[in-house]
A = this chain, B = another copy of it.
């Protein structure tokens, strides 16, 4: 029986794919890759490259991220139906996501649309922030501590409450939202306790510790994550 596999390929370093993910990538007949942004596309494929078989058929598909939910969902339904058809024709089909498939990923929508029409299996992946913590040598949590993961686009009240409750905060997708996040960190005197990591685990990884001098106009990579460590 053919299966649809959602494979988390981790933050960037091909060696941070799991053994299971790497094996399944090798065994796939067809691989769907998201093409939401040009650099996103090349990164996901580049990470998987060492594991892809010569005969693999790669189907790059555009997942629109527009605000108009209806036109977006229609497009995604088309892709879901194409995947269902491929699996029903006996092909093992994969879909790769950066980081983990269950953490802010398009894959969540795909499996919702696919439902129980075909067999699906999801393979977890290393998230950018787990990779960051490892590379910084800084624990996310110890003992009785807690941590939270939020997008920079979360409501201000929520961000503030989370900053007050948790010892560690991970803020995702900060690139275009420094104008909101930096004043918030300043308010709680946390600018100097914050790390900014771009392109975690890749050769282009950059780490910035202490954001007091950072301008909110600073151009950051789309793949930039913030770690606030109180």
Residues of chain A touching chain B, judged by Cβ–Cβ distance below 8 Å, are 6, 8, 10, 13-20, 22-23, 100-105, 108-109, 111, 120, 122-127, 130-131, 133-135, 137-151, 153-155, 158, 161-162, 165-166
Contacts and interface: CB of A to CB of B under 8 A. Distances in A.
A124 B131 contact: yes
A156 to B, nearest CB: 12
9 contacts: A6-B134, A10-B18, A102-B139, A122-B135, A125-B126, A143-B151, A145-B151, A146-B158, A162-B166
A109 to B, nearest CB: 8
B146 A104 contact: no
A11 to B, nearest CB: 8
Contacts of A145: 151
Given A15-B20, A19-B15, A108-B142, A102 B123 contact: no
Nearest to A10: B18
B133 A102 contact: yes
Q: What are the 4 tightest A-B residue pairs by CB atom distance, in nearest-first order? A: A15-B20, A102-B133, A108-B139, A122-B134
A124 B165 contact: no
A108 B133 CA distance: 11
Given A137-B120, A165-B162, A130 B103 contact: yes
B149 A137 contact: no
